[in-house]
Amino acid sequence: GQQLNQSPQSMFIQEGEDVSMNCTSSSIFNTWLWYKQDPGEGPVLLIALYKAGELTSNGRLTAQFGITRKDSFLNISASIPSDVGIYFCAGQGAETSGSRLTFGEGTQLTVNP
Amino acid sequence: DAMVIQNPRYQVTQFGKPVTLSCSQTLNHNVMYWYQQKSSQAPKLLFHYYDKDFNNEADTPDNFQSRRPNTSFCFLDIRSPGLGDAAMYLCATSRDWLARDTQYFGPGTRLTVL
Question: Residue A96: closest CA among chain B residues belongs to which residue?
Answer: B99
- The answer to whether B83 contacts chain A (CB < 8 Å) is no
Whether B106 sits inside 8 A of A45 (CB atoms) is no
Among A68, A36, A61, A34, smallest CA distance to A48 is for A34
**A91-108 pLDDT tens trace:** 998 666 788 899 999 999
Q: Quickly count: other Cβ atoms within 10 Å of residue B5's Cβ.
A: 17
CB-CB under 8 Å, B107 with A48: no
Alpha carbon distance A92, B98 (integer Å): 9
How far is the CA of A56 from the CAs of A19, A46, A85, A87, B50, in angstroms?
A: 16, 10, 21, 17, 30
Closest residue in A to B108 (Cα–Cα): A42
| Cα–Cα distance for residue pair B25/A75, rounded to 1 Å | 31
Among B32, B103, B110, the residue to mutate for chain A (most A Cβ within 10 A): B103
Q: Do A98 and B99 touch (CB under 8 A)?
A: yes
How confident is chain B (114 residues) per 10-residue block, as mean pLDDT? 89 96 96 95 95 94 96 97 97 90 95 96
Average pLDDT over residues A61-65: 97
